[in-house]
Amino acid sequence: MTKTYIPPVNDIDRKWYVVDAADQRLGRLATEIATILRGKNKPTFTPNMDTGDFVIVVNAEKVVVTGNKTDQKLYRRHSGRPGGMKTETFAQLQARIPERIIEKAVKGMLPKNALGRKLFTKLKVYAGPEHPHAAQQPETLTIQTIAGEKA
């Protein structure tokens, strides 16, 4: 009878990666980040375990979307009170809290359970080019999305 491979917790190798989001497409960037957080790029991937790596995203304010999504894509949040729905466009949220755009995109691609919430804590997003994680000696990760021109 075949058994599912479960990697020992001590053997899980955790790395830190830095991703530059400048002029990257939002969805393509978020899928790559979610894959790394989940650990799907590793041969030791196990669906019910946290085998992924840490990801630091810099320049979140420079992420782009295509078409008319800048004005038409909506982000909603609710205070829990009657009539407490707040709605804002991509452009408004990018001007106010640019980190939240990438966080929401990646969080939507993670599992909707306790494992997904644990994986989400390994994502660090910063609006500018600096980050405070130099002590972890992160590797630079270049994600090959369709960058450059705005379609």
Three-state secondary structure along 17-30?
A: EEEECCCCEHHHHH
- Determine the pLDDT at residue 151: 43
- Determine the pLDDT at residue 146: 65
- Determine the pLDDT at residue 145: 66
- Determine the pLDDT at residue 79: 97
Token pair belonging to 81: 């009170």
pTM: 0.91
The amino acid at residue 8 is P
Walking along the chain (151 residues) 10 residues at a time, the average pLDDT comes out as 84 94 95 96 92 97 96 97 97 97 98 97 97 96 68 43
The answer to whether the beta carbons of residues 101 and 61 sit under 8 Å apart is no
- Determine the pLDDT at residue 11: 87
Identify which of 109, 107, 104, 108 has the alpha carbon closest to the alpha carbon of residue 88. Answer: 104
Question: Which residues on adjacent β-strands are paired with residue 16?
Answer: 54
Q: Which CATH architecture has domain 15-65+94-141?
A: Alpha-Beta Complex (3.90)
